[in-house]
Amino acid sequence: MSEVRAGEIPLPPPVQDCVEGFVFVRSPPQFLLLKRTEARGGFWQPVSGRFEPSDRSFEHAVRREVAEETGFSGVGELLDLSWAVVFPGKDGRPWRLHSYGVEIPRVAMPRLSDEHVAYLWCRPGEALSTLFWPDNRQALRRLFAALGC
């Protein structure tokens, strides 16, 4: 996986852009993780999905994915984590993942989509140790820094 940072030479255009949104509440800091179905890997992750042709921006895609995967609509502030990672898709072609923090006012029970079988609200340390992918942990650390936790 390759990390993309502002000011660096851009990578070749990816085949597909996708987004991830770390849904969180500020006080006390808690983070929502979703468990994928076994058919989709069975691991814990934030909200995630592909950038669709109908999406006006990455922020729009994040808000859409949060609504689709949790039922949460009208979310508050989005924090652009100014970080993306490129990884090979199942067919070997590159994908680029853009990471965001998604604030909601209070802990709430999500309405899970058929992509997930469980959810957890976690404190920072638990969230880091529960995430499966290293790039998810790196993005979450960026959110921790932005939130001062």
Q: Quick one: average pLDDT of 44-59?
A: 94
The answer to whether the beta carbons of residues 144 and 122 sit under 8 Å apart is no
For residue 35, the cross-strand partners are: 44, 118
Kindly state the DSSP code that residue 37 receives in the 8-state scheme: P
The answer to whether the beta carbons of residues 65 and 32 sit under 8 Å apart is no
Phi, then psi, of 37 in degrees rounded to 5:
-65, 160
Instruction: Give the tens place of pLDDT for each residue, 52-75.
Output: 999 999 999 999 999 999 999 888
> 147 lies in a domain?
no
How many domains does the chain contain in total? Answer: 1
> 110 lies in a domain?
yes
> 127 lies in a domain?
yes
Segment holding 126, helix H or strand E: helix 124-130
CB-based burial, 47-82: b 16+ in 10 Å, e otherwise: bbbebeeebeebbebbbbbbbebbebeebeebbebe
Residues spanned by the domain of 132? 2-141
> 121 lies in a domain?
yes
Question: In angstroms, rounded to a whole number, what is the distance separating the alpha carbons of residues 21 and 136?
Answer: 10
> 146 lies in a domain?
no
pLDDT band per the 50, 70, 90 thresholds, residue 12: low
The CATH number of residue 83's host domain is 3.90.79.10
> 81 lies in a domain?
yes
Q: Quick one: average pLDDT of 2-9?
A: 52
> 33 lies in a domain?
yes
Q: Quick one: average pLDDT of 76-94?
A: 86
